[in-house]
């Protein structure tokens, strides 16, 4: 599976593509908002650009490896697992489809088809919401809960092997704080 991540940094379009075992980055001039060549801009901070590239490569590689492991062990994708996680973590065990789309960490694109596939596999059910008959809710079936628990064990072991075990406790705390700044938005934590 090939993964692609893009960002515009300092007037350059940075793309990172990965296969199962490699990651590579390339940069080229990005068009400005009006479709013309970029105007004069300050050169990006090279350390920042190098850190960004490393972040994209690491994300793409880890995502690809975690997805491959779930496919091999359980026949489901990391996107399928994301849906199961959100439903398992929902306070009532059910979410309206619009809530599920907001909750998934991966792209909500194609969510209805994904949920439909999970339903055909007997892992998810869908029904009209009791509070609002215009809404459809999804929830895990008993088989879905069992499959989720098995997938969670695999996923957590893979995260430990491919991520957490590569850092000591202090480094993990630093990573969490640094990534938290990105989640909070510009200027956070400074």
- Which has more confidence, 79 or 18? 79
SS3 of the chain: the string is: CCEEEEEEECCEEEEEEECCCCEEEEEEECCCCCCCCCCCCCCCCHHHHHHHHHHHHHHHHHHHHHHHHHHHHHCCCHHHHHHHHHHHHCCCCEEEHHHHHHHCCCCCCCHHHHHHHHHHCCCEEEEECCCCCCCEEEEECHHHHHHHHHHHHHHHHHHHHHCHHHCCHHHHHHHHHHHHHHHHCCCCCC
Inter-residue contact 144 to 136 (CB < 8 Å)? no
Tokens of 135: 């809404």
Read off the pLDDT of each residue in 59-70 and give the average, rounded to a whole number. 96
Question: 21 pLDDT band (50/70/90 cuts)?
Answer: very low
> How buried is 30 (Cβ within 10 angstroms: 0-12 exposed, 13-18 middle, 19+ buried)?
middle
Interval 112-129: pLDDT, tens: 999 999 999 999 999 988
Euclidean distance between CA atoms 174 and 168, whole angstroms: 10
Calculate the CA dihedral of residues 72, 74, 79, 85 and round it to 10 degrees.
-140
> Of 146, 175, 145, 162, whose CA–CA distance to 67 is shortest?
162
Interval 127-138: pLDDT, tens: 988 777 788 899
Domains of the chain, with CATH numbers? 76-190 (1.10.10.10)
pLDDT at 187: 65
């Amino acid at each position: 599976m090939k993964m692609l991540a893009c960002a515009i940094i300092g007037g350059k379009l940075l793309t990172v593509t990965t296969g199962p075992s490699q990651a590579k980055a390339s940069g080229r001039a990005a068009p400005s908002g009006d479709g013309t060549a970029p105007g004069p801009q300050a050169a990006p901070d090279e350390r920042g650009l190098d850190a960004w590239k490393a972040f994209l490569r690491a994300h793409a590689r880890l995502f690809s490896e975690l997805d491959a492991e779930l496919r091999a062990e359980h026949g489901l994708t990391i996107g399928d697992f994301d849906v199961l996680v959100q439903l398992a973590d929902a306070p009532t065990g059910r979410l309206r489809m619009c809530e599920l789309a907001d909750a998934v960490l991966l792209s909500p694109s194609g969510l209805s088809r994904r949920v439909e596939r999970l339903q055909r596999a007997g892992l998810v059910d869908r029904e009209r919401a009791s509070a609002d008959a215009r809404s459809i809710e999804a929830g895990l079936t008993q088989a879905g809960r069992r499959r989720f628990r098995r997938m969670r064990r695999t996923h957590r072991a893979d995260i430990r092997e491919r991520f957490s075990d590569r850092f000591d406790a202090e480094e993990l705390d630093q990573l969490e704080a640094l990534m938290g700044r990105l989640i909070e938005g510009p200027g956070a934590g400074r």
